Structure 1
């Protein structure tokens, strides 16, 4: 109890006075607290399983242990249900259960194969649980893995238990968002491809509610991949300053609109132009670039109709969806170096990167090159690796793409100020990566799930 009281006291001190000097002082304690919180996720799952086995609902006069957890621990039923789901993932049967009718139809050989698979899945389940325990994998990450694995079909090349173990291993060094992408990509690739290619098209919908007391209305929209790619391409133009003079009627005024407000203004402008007949009937208002390697083009048939290819908007499209966009089979091609994955030399001397250079960078990088980032190319900025002001040329080997957030954290002077590093080219591999301010530390590269789908990553394989 004394240890708990000490923890509470340290928390109370920071809560009462979050001063500038307190952060470094309490950081080791905060890291320990986070590890305890992550381990608590496993404790919560174990407690939920124990509550199920003890028929804990009877304690409060009900039949459900989830009701008991919610009432006795003073948590929501939704949280109690999540803990029960986590418990099922940890302690339940990792293999799909067959009905009594299916079990009766089994031959001795089929029964032996099923039981062998169940034994292997239980081993994988235990190994995944040990990874979660040893590395203190957070509840958020565990729930994300479970949610993505729910999309896994039966009879895949990897069992759910095996894929869960692989995902738990990835969870030890990937961010939550990157782990979600990694697991989703794995599930998509190993799921059987025999499904309706127009499933999302059939779900497309738009509904507009009644006007509220302010005069506006809520709208609900489900986009198929074609519509999603087109809209994201259009919305990528909604950067600070876009249409500002039209919206505020004051070109010199600072743009204080939120990102959501800028996107709405861009959308409203498109509607206005369409209604006014200002958009030519067959002219595009945005550009979508699809990244396919030469191997992808050659193997379109064997890859199957459900294989999705990344685009500059961050939306992945199947060959059918690409055709529905009206895209040409070949427009531009970028040749990538097979060692570094970087585009080959395209020298330019002007300040702004040319269209061809942007296409080459997209083909090579696909997303922001700062480690762990999955911001799609359309939302990013072209960055001079060696600063333009420092004499860096606008040549393809001196360019990369970085999201707005990471661009602002790049130290162009490379002087270590404020412990900020910079983007650079690794002299050994030719890859673009992040060099920490302390140059004795190794460069860090973007090996996120989104980045591994880039043309450059595919060329390096």
Structure 2
């Protein structure tokens, strides 16, 4: 071990040409070990799933356990779980109960034969990956391209994965990605599933960057594509400009974005449930912030219920009013003041108060924005807990499923509760001897409640 440290320290101290030649054999060996670790990670992820490892940290997901216990990001944990499923999961597409009931005896026999062959192909692909120590980067490239493979192809996904693993032994990551992509394009059936595009429809939005924007990826089916193209056709020079005689210096892409944003702006209220209110983009500002919003630094950003931070200019562009709603927070706990209700569903005003106080999910370390979360009764509604402002909090869908309403410590599952000393909402582990844990994440620190406690 000391020799390894010496080799690494020598190169770090002096990355010279001579040091490169001397260190190269060690670097190649180290890379092989890292590649093998990718296979180890996949196996560990699958074993964590089979061991129901989420219970170790009081949750239901093995993904959460990997992220917490190994101190890695959830996105990295997700990749490992996906790799584990690819290596050790069911390699054949799963049919619904309805599809299974419609099978003829001949179709059932053919399917079972195909499933058995897929298992053989999966085992062979895993053997190649292990013997040739295929890197995580190459495995992820293969998996990404194979996700685009349609059903009922001449080669199954398991067979194509085996072939791609063989190619991975000699091709670079970029070349392997192209090889797999071309293979998928060629073997996808010409007579496609008429609903193939509908099944592939998707929209994903990345995290907000330093400029305040984010990348979005969109896959449209035929209907969505036709509608969007029709609407985008209106985005000609001068479209949406207040002065039609003014020269339009926007690019085509910028004009199309402006038209798309206008569509979203107009449709925003119509697409949301009535109890969510019309003003569904909520901005968290203090009274001082509101009074000085025009004088604030132009690029200063304020948090919203969507998880997106907005500058004063962007807030004004949304058409927000100066004093639509206000919430007074307790200076010690940061919790909103009492607002009693008898119905189970939290009122709009209670939701506004919770947003003002909490901003994000109150489970420790979570930064899920308020708009994507659910209202949770701290003392369960079924156990007699009222829908009063002091008995509700907001939790993301993922963490809501890990809350033990019975509070009996079963499976090491804890629950959300109110700290009797500070009045803060936090997570009480299943073992009540352990202290409560609070969300002190960077996102939670921007909440009104956190600001009030300062």
TM-score normalised to the size of structure 2? Answer: 0.47
Query: TM-score of the superposition, structure 1-length normalised?
Result: 0.47
